[in-house]
Structure 1
Amino acid sequence: MSGGPLSHLRVLDLTQRLAGPYGTQMLGDLGAQIIKLEPPGGDPTHKTPPHFVAGESTYYLSFNRNKRSIIIDLKEPRGRELVRELLGKCDVLVENNRPGAMARLGLDYASLKSDFPSLVYCSISGFGQDGPDAQRGALDPIVQAVSGSMSLTGEVGGKAVRAGIPIGDICAGMYAATGILAALLRREKSGLGEFIDISMLDVQVAMLGYQGAAYLASGKVPGPQGRTHDSYALAYCVSAKDGVDVMIAANAQRSFEVLAKAIGRPEIVDDPRFLTPADRNRNKLPLRAILDEACLKVESATITAALHSVGAPAAVINSIDRALAEPQVVHRQMVLDLQGQRDADRVRVPGDPIKLAEAQRDEYQYPPHSGEHTRAILKELLGYDDAGIDKLAGVVLENPIHEKTQEF
């Protein structure tokens, strides 16, 4: 039995929307105790359309499991005092406000460092804490656009396309979690806290990877590649007779030979244009034209089976419903069934990809309703009794009702 390897740590989570909540959810999946501190109106994603379960948006439910929620009005001086009281019981603070917002509340790292020298403080923002664009607002598609990553997505010769999943938000959350873990390891040796500055733009630029390096080396600006790969002729998507699209990676010689036979064109193996991987890359356009025509006469299962027989990667392009029903996905428990205290509080969400042999979390908890644990947190962590909590009326709130705009 395990609560996870981070079960000894407590995180005060002031983040909203996606990037921050995703990062703190990662820490919660690893066992950290996450206190989600929400403003009186709650995290806006509680009400993000179009899909809702028991009054909660699936957007919110996707990124907030394994947390407890408390509502504190930080505009009130007493509310800010409560944050300091909570920090006395916490190891980490995470926030994703625009730079300067926390300083105006007296809750930035510089204001807290002397009183909480071991505090690990992580700030997530669109463009970072400094620089000419630090005060610009940002959402996921904005940083995809500014970073250039959007220019690499879409059909060859077409316009830039936003990635279908919020990679700017999710990856910023992942880097935030990584930075927090690194700072906690440093604290184990030094006893000192740390300030972590995560910029969504920085993360997206880092993820340009070999495309960014290729431009810096050559000066050639890459564009959208569609379902092709600029380095490998046979990392390519073909359409089969049954209407199914198949992604193949038949770059090795044996893979190419098996593919050619499976699609009824064994002679192309001896074509002087396609003898070696280098030849095939130089002549990728005529080679792909041959594949496009031949694969339309062959079932998708024939193509994938042939490549799998020699250990080559190949897969049909799944829709989300098919992907989440894949036997491998089911076996790996990558769909979680979360149950809250009410019967109606039940939702299935994508799962935790970190699999630990010795310290995997035993149970994943349903995301909290806004302010669900306000009273419990004040009692358990800060020692308030009911009378003391009642005196905080207007500073703290419990369980506001969210407007239910749509159900599945």
Structure 2
Amino acid sequence: MFPILSGLRVVECASFIAAPSCALHLRQLGAEVIRIDPVGGGMDFGRWPVTPQGDSLYWEGLNKGKRSVAIDLSRPEGRQLAVDLITAPGPDAGVFVTNHPQKGFLGHAALSRQRPDLVTVRVLGWRDGAPAVDYTVNAALGLPYMTGGAGNGDDPVNHVLPAWDLMTGAYAAFATLAAERHRQRTGQGQEVTVPLSDVALASLGHTGQIAEVLSQGDRPRYGNALFGAFGRNFRTADDRQVMVVAITGRQWSGLVQALELAPAVAALEAALGVAFEADEGQRFVHREALFPLFERAIGALPLAALRQRFEAHAVLWSVYQTLGQAVAGDPRLSLDEPLFSTLQHPSGLRYPAPGAAASFHASARQPAVPAPRLGEHTDAVLAEVLSLSPARIGQLHDAKIVASA
């Protein structure tokens, strides 16, 4: 964590990945984040992966360092309490992150009647407010038909990483700060909507894939081959899989030298009338002619010898390994780095948890903070933010409008 946004208060009422990760990014840069949680937990409170006891590692990972206020949002008194927290006064307050529908008591129009300069950042599925998640957006955009190889036939191949959820969360955090800066300069609040579908569609447009499909049609599947350059998985003599990539001319020449393939590659270039070092696209076009050369060269070497050659020639490559192998034995991915803090978590487990991915070199990194227990900060937040007396907070507990840990 870094104290860059110290003083900023964000109220979050959200579940799943995109919106909670938006507020997580803000928290890890120093903002105070108050979660409004339904009594008993929201839709993602028990989401997998979970411990053997059923505690969600997913939930406690996405909510590190936040404060939790548990409110019964099904009752009018509870809803008004949530609205009061969201619209509480103060120049550094009045920032709300949610993925709840635009209509209803958490709609911006209703909330801004109580605080006109409110900044609401709302993560949507589709632009029109219809529900969507990463996997359904991916399916609609056709990406599962580009993933995989010929052996998959007409079957889609889903990606295991929820990329649009994660990108939308990061983009929403950026949008939150942009809207808050606009309010500082103009005094104007506003609602910002960030749909997963728009983040996905814009990303494909930014990387040329929409222009490609409009001008050339849908991209076919290429298996593990890197589209537009040289790259694929290869197997070593001791049966280890490695990913080898060469995009720049220097990367290509280093790879060819490391494997002592210069004569064979030169002969192929002469036969085809191409220069692979100068044109990465030609390496992709002629991949079926190139791959056998590299399969034989890499397949003749054990991993240790290959590593020595690749490191000597600055080759772009990596060994395939499981996540468990990565965090246990790869020094580049060590959990002992300052990015991680070993914490005692609400699940009862003690394990390293990441802080902010960026490093601000003018500020000292602070340790990460574990997620709250559900309702852990109910009483403190109601007293600090809404100035409720202990007697009034007690009445809310007695009426089961709020709950604590």
Please report the TM-score for the alignment, with normalisation by the length of structure 2. Answer: 0.87
Return the match for 2:401 from 378, 395, 398: 395
| Structure 2 residue ranges without an equivalent (≥5) | none
Partner of 1:199: 195
2:353 counterpart letter in structure 1:
V
Higher relative contact order (CA 8 A, sep 6+): 1
Deviation at 1:251, TM superposition (A): 4.2
* Distance (Å, rounded) in 1 between the aligned partners of 2:275 and 2:293: 15
2:341 counterpart letter in structure 1:
L
SS at match of 2:226: coil
- CA spacing shift, 1:121–1:360, aligned 2, 3 Å: farther
Partner of 2:176: 180
* Distance (Å, rounded) in 2 between the aligned partners of 1:170 and 1:315: 24
Partner of 1:39: 38
Deviation at 1:257, TM superposition (A): 4.4
Please report the TM-score for the alignment, with normalisation by the length of structure 1. Answer: 0.86
Correspondence 1:111 to 2:105 = no
- CA spacing shift, 1:373–1:264, aligned 2, 3 Å: same
* Distance (Å, rounded) in 2 between the aligned partners of 1:194 and 1:315: 46
Does the aligned pair in 1 maintain the 2:96–2:121 contact within 8 Å? yes
SS at match of 2:100: coil
Partner of 2:158: 162
1:309 counterpart letter in structure 2:
A
Partner of 2:371: 367
* CA deviation string 1:354-379 (max 9, x = no partner): 11112355121110111111111112
SS at match of 1:196: strand
Partner of 1:329: 333
| Structure 1 residue ranges without an equivalent (≥5) | 400-408
Note the 1:242-281 alignment, pairs <5 A. 242-253=238-249, 255-263=251-259, 265-271=261-267, 272=270, 273=272, 275-277=275-277, 278=279, 279-281=282-284
Deviation at 1:332, TM superposition (A): 4.3
Return the match for 1:91 from 88, 94, 116: 94
* Distance (Å, rounded) in 1 between the aligned partners of 2:47 and 2:383: 31
- CA spacing shift, 1:95–1:344, aligned 2, 3 Å: same
Deviation at 1:190, TM superposition (A): 0.8
Partner of 1:140: 134
2:343 counterpart letter in structure 1:
L
Deviation at 1:139, TM superposition (A): 2.4
The alignment covers a number of residue pairs equal to: 387
* CA deviation string 1:90-117 (max 9, x = no partner): 33111112342xx2x2x31111224312
State the identity as a percent.
Answer: 27
Partner of 2:125: 126
- CA spacing shift, 1:187–1:50, aligned 2, 3 Å: closer
Correspondence 1:59 to 2:64 = no
Deviation at 1:384, TM superposition (A): 1.8
Partner of 1:347: 351
* CA deviation string 1:194-228 (max 9, x = no partner): 21111111111222242524424523211333321
1:315 counterpart letter in structure 2:
S
1:306 counterpart letter in structure 2:
R
* Distance (Å, rounded) in 2 between the aligned partners of 1:82 and 1:255: 59
Deviation at 1:156, TM superposition (A): 4.7
* Distance (Å, rounded) in 2 between the aligned partners of 1:370 and 1:394: 15
1:276 counterpart letter in structure 2:
F
Deviation at 1:84, TM superposition (A): 2.9
* Distance (Å, rounded) in 2 between the aligned partners of 1:254 and 1:139: 40
Output the aligned Cα RMSD: 2.5
Return the match for 2:295 from 292, 297, 307: 292
Deviation at 1:82, TM superposition (A): 1.3
Deviates more, 1:108-117 or 1:17-26: 108-117
- CA spacing shift, 1:361–1:388, aligned 2, 3 Å: farther
Does the aligned pair in 2 maintain the 1:48–1:59 contact within 8 Å? yes
* Distance (Å, rounded) in 2 between the aligned partners of 1:307 and 1:193: 54
Correspondence 1:358 to 2:355 = no
* CA deviation string 1:14-54 (max 9, x = no partner): 00122111111111101110101011231233322352287
Does the aligned pair in 2 maintain the 1:157–1:224 contact within 8 Å? no
Deviates more, 1:204-213 or 1:91-100: 204-213
2:367 counterpart letter in structure 1:
E
Partner of 2:319: 316
SS at match of 1:47: coil
Return the match for 1:235 from 204, 214, 231: 231
Correspondence 1:378 to 2:382 = yes
Partner of 1:404: none
- CA spacing shift, 1:66–1:217, aligned 2, 3 Å: same
Does the aligned pair in 1 maintain the 2:340–2:354 contact within 8 Å? yes
